[in-house]
Chains A and B, each alone.
Chain A
Amino acid sequence: MKYFAGIDVGSTAIKVAMVNEDGQVAGVHVTPSGSLFHRNSLEALNALLGKLGLQREQVSYLIATGYGRKLFKEADDSISEITANAIGAFEAGKAFGGVRTIINIGGQDSKAIQIDDSGNVTNFVMNDKCAAGTGRFLDVAARNLELDLEELGDFHFMGSQAPLNINSTCTVFAESEIIGLLAKGHGKSEIIAGIHYSIASRTVRLAKRVGIEGRVYFDGGPALNKGLVAAIQDELGRELVIPAHPQTTTAFGAAMLARSEFFAGQSLEIA
């Protein structure tokens, strides 16, 4: 059996996905990027190989993506995270009856991608220069509230009052708003719901710029946050498709591409 890997070297986390000849996911692995991108990428790949009991030689083709893609020279090829994300979401979305719009929130950016029925990128937008309303924003907010990042999702639903207004998605200004709200004695849940809505409305604005069509697929680390998912759904007024592994969609896309590029090189018919 041949295996194909995609490695997504992101700003916050390194994600590795492995698929087999039939395009089935063999396994995924996520680890923080840290400061030594290259070393950590190699370690992440080896960790997944170890987990699956595979040898490096069994990986026939490896494609790197994400901001650090150029730094990972061990890859056979590299591709932008937008294309990789589109492929990953297209493939993973088949199980849900197909998706046409993708919203991705990453550690330091957010993007909206529109794809056609065959999975080709037809349009995309990214947030502008700053990291407002991205995973980093949630990170900072959690720290202010003395919570773990993972706890934010549950807190979203625990409030008895309406979500509070957080005017700014700028991490720095929002931080002082959060501190101000805490000082006034507001509950954490209402603040957290407010944060989620603030990110949601910014994200939906971005998605509307690309044009929302068909089913909407939401991925990236923050898609693990149920509260944020609910807020985006509310702002969007549509259902969201959340995959089983939202963090690794892009790495999975790269792995699927690795598979098809490998077979295209072999000029074999692939299903």
Chain B
Amino acid sequence: MENNGKVIPIHAEPYGRSRQAGEAQDVLSHLVEDFEDNPASMQYFYDLFRRVYCHGEEVPHRGMLVGTTCIQAPEELIYAFGATPMRLCNGSYHYDQKGADFMPSKSCSLVKATLGMLSAETQIPKVGKPDMIVNPTTCDQKKKSSAMIGGMGYKVYDLEFPNVKESEASRVYWQRSVRQFAAELRTLTGRKLTRKNLKAAMEKTGRAQAAFRTLHNFRRKSPSLLLGKDAFLVTNAYFFDDIERWTLAVEKLNEELAQREKAGFKAVQSKAPRVLFTGSPPIFPNLKLPLLIEEAGGVVVADETCSANRMLYDMTAVDEWLVNDMVDSLADKYLKPCTCPIFTKNEDRKRRLLALMRDFNADGVVYQAFAGCQVYEMEYRSVAEEFNRMGIPMLYVETDYSPDDKGQLSTRIEAFLESLKNRKKQRA
């Protein structure tokens, strides 16, 4: 028979068969099944990720949906206008590859994956078309991605963010920028910002942050009650889950951890090296590094990343007589405690890291820098100098979302944990 050839049209795979869902499924089953004694109340999160990432369940939202590409977008304001914020930062390797159509291939995996996800036909998680995407002008790559997201047909709002943290000019600039954002939200939603609504929004995020902080403090305990891979999953869920539902689930987890503590439970061996995690954020399904650490017998006890601790640690509790003053104070809360490396100087980050080392009784630090995430790569030097001076061991890992380097990384991580153990032994 003669073969005339034919053109095969591209068809979007259904959720269950997409590579992104496969990737998520893979990480989830590893994270759940390859570890013993997962807390029963983690089931809520395992199920949530399975539904949203593997089965394409739509993420819940009330009112308008406002996507955010960074934690510097004040979510209290979005809630106050009756809308729902959703963090779009993506962790999928397959979207990272897709995103290379938009950005140089050597740029940050996180930014590329987010672009890849937004450009995809079947998005995971399924965000549909947010009514607006707010893009704080923090690092260069996020800055430049804004026009590309706009080019895909999304409505993008650039939230202007300063480069210097300490100066009064920056503070005033940022306050004006946040006020402008509030005005934009008013136009978008057709609602008015009132003191009452803003207070209610802060109470809502405040409850979530309080629940997080309780969880965070449970991780001080030695031997650990909870593995870092689960803690990262919990904070990752905050990106897209309904905030009240999320808070309840974390409170339930906290109750279980309290029981575990009472029962003298150990999630790891008592001599397991305790690791503080910092640098480029682990975002599901890219939990490569935390999982490698915990597979090798270490435990991540705390982190200084914008997908977990930095996102939820600082509670918003501002109260002023006038709503405009409240917005200004809210802006301060987003600027002052921020330890993102995009700032010129970043003494606060070093202080925060040292405090976490001390409070969480950590043995060493793992510093993740995504290849192409220049600010983290550059800031490594000054952090390393400080840690060297304090005699704190640190492992610097430059990596990306690709699974290629897992074999090599596992050797490096094991060696690092072995050296931590050895130090511990000699001190004892």
Q: Report which A residues bind B (CB closer than 8 A).
A: 67, 79-83, 109, 118, 120-122, 124, 126, 128-129
Residues of A within 8 A of B405 (CB): 128-129
Residues of B within 8 A of A124 (CB): 412, 415
CB closest residue in chain B, given A66: B411
B393 contacts A by Cβ under 8 Å: yes
Q: How far is the CB of A13 from chain B (nearest CB, A)?
A: 17
Residues of B within 8 A of A82 (CB): 411-412, 414-415, 418
Q: Report which B residues bind A (CB closer than 8 A).
A: 393, 398, 404-405, 407-408, 411-412, 414-415, 418-419, 422-423, 426
- C-alpha spacing A67/B393, complex, angstroms: 24
Q: List 21 A-B contacts (CB under 8 A).
A: A67-B407, A79-B414, A79-B418, A81-B411, A81-B415, A82-B411, A82-B412, A82-B414, A82-B418, A83-B414, A83-B418, A83-B422, A109-B408, A120-B422, A120-B423, A120-B426, A121-B415, A128-B398, A129-B404, A129-B405, A129-B408
- C-alpha spacing A66/B67, complex, angstroms: 46
Closest 7 CB pairs of A and B: A82-B415, A80-B414, A121-B419, A80-B415, A83-B418, A80-B411, A83-B415
Residues of A within 8 A of B412 (CB): 82, 124, 126
- C-alpha spacing A128/B399, complex, angstroms: 10
Q: How far is the CB of B135 from chain A (nearest CB, A)?
A: 32
Flag if B408 contacts A126 (CB, 8 Å). yes
- C-alpha spacing A83/B421, complex, angstroms: 11
Q: How far is the CB of B51 from chain A (nearest CB, A)?
A: 34
Flag if A118 contacts B426 (CB, 8 Å). yes
Q: How far is the CB of B394 from chain A (nearest CB, A)?
A: 9
Residues of A within 8 A of B407 (CB): 67
Residues of B within 8 A of A83 (CB): 414-415, 418-419, 422
Residues of A within 8 A of B415 (CB): 80-83, 121, 124
Q: How far is the CB of B176 from chain A (nearest CB, A)?
A: 44
Residues of B within 8 A of A128 (CB): 398, 405
Assuming the contacts A120-B426, A124-B412, A126-B412, asked whether A80 and B404 have C-beta atoms less than 8 A apart, the reply is no
Flag if B411 contacts A67 (CB, 8 Å). yes
Q: How far is the CB of B405 from chain A (nearest CB, A)?
A: 6
Return the contact of B411 from the options A118, A122, A126 (Cβ within 8 A).
A126
Greatest chain A CB density within 10 A among B393, B404, B419, B426 is at B419
- C-alpha spacing A16/B17, complex, angstroms: 47
CB closest residue in chain A, given B417: A80
- C-alpha spacing A79/B419, complex, angstroms: 11
Q: A82-B418, A128-B405 are in contact. List 17 more A-B contacts (CB 8 A).
A: A67-B407, A67-B411, A80-B411, A80-B415, A81-B415, A82-B411, A83-B414, A83-B415, A83-B422, A109-B408, A118-B426, A120-B419, A120-B422, A122-B393, A126-B408, A129-B404, A129-B405
- C-alpha spacing A124/B412, complex, angstroms: 8
Flag if B408 contacts A122 (CB, 8 Å). no
- C-alpha spacing A251/B184, complex, angstroms: 66
CB closest residue in chain B, given A82: B415
Residues of B within 8 A of A79 (CB): 414, 418
Residues of A within 8 A of B398 (CB): 128
- C-alpha spacing A81/B415, complex, angstroms: 8
- C-alpha spacing A128/B402, complex, angstroms: 13
Greatest chain B CB density within 10 A among A67, A121, A126, A128 is at A121
CB closest residue in chain A, given B421: A83
Residues of A within 8 A of B411 (CB): 67, 80-82, 126
CB closest residue in chain B, given A113: B415
Residues of B within 8 A of A81 (CB): 411, 415
CB closest residue in chain B, given A123: B393
Q: How far is the CB of B122 from chain A (nearest CB, A)?
A: 31
Residues of B within 8 A of A122 (CB): 393, 419
Q: How far is the CB of B410 from chain A (nearest CB, A)?
A: 9
Q: How far is the CB of B330 from chain A (nearest CB, A)?
A: 43
- C-alpha spacing A109/B422, complex, angstroms: 25
- C-alpha spacing A114/B109, complex, angstroms: 31
CB closest residue in chain B, given A108: B408
- C-alpha spacing A129/B407, complex, angstroms: 10
- C-alpha spacing A118/B393, complex, angstroms: 16
- C-alpha spacing A12/B205, complex, angstroms: 56
Residues of B within 8 A of A80 (CB): 411, 414-415, 418
CB closest residue in chain A, given B409: A126
Q: How far is the CB of B408 from chain A (nearest CB, A)?
A: 6
Greatest chain A CB density within 10 A among B398, B414, B415 is at B415
CB closest residue in chain B, given A120: B422
- C-alpha spacing A68/B422, complex, angstroms: 23
Residues of A within 8 A of B408 (CB): 109, 126, 129
- C-alpha spacing A121/B419, complex, angstroms: 6
Residues of A within 8 A of B422 (CB): 83, 120-121
- C-alpha spacing A80/B422, complex, angstroms: 13
- C-alpha spacing A124/B417, complex, angstroms: 12
- C-alpha spacing A120/B364, complex, angstroms: 15
Flag if B418 contacts A121 (CB, 8 Å). yes
- C-alpha spacing A129/B406, complex, angstroms: 10
Q: How far is the CB of B388 from chain A (nearest CB, A)?
A: 9
Residues of B within 8 A of A67 (CB): 407, 411
Residues of A within 8 A of B426 (CB): 118, 120
CB closest residue in chain A, given B396: A125
CB closest residue in chain B, given A85: B415
Residues of A within 8 A of B414 (CB): 79-80, 82-83
- C-alpha spacing A79/B418, complex, angstroms: 8
Residues of A within 8 A of B418 (CB): 79-80, 82-83, 121
- C-alpha spacing A193/B78, complex, angstroms: 66
- C-alpha spacing A120/B418, complex, angstroms: 10
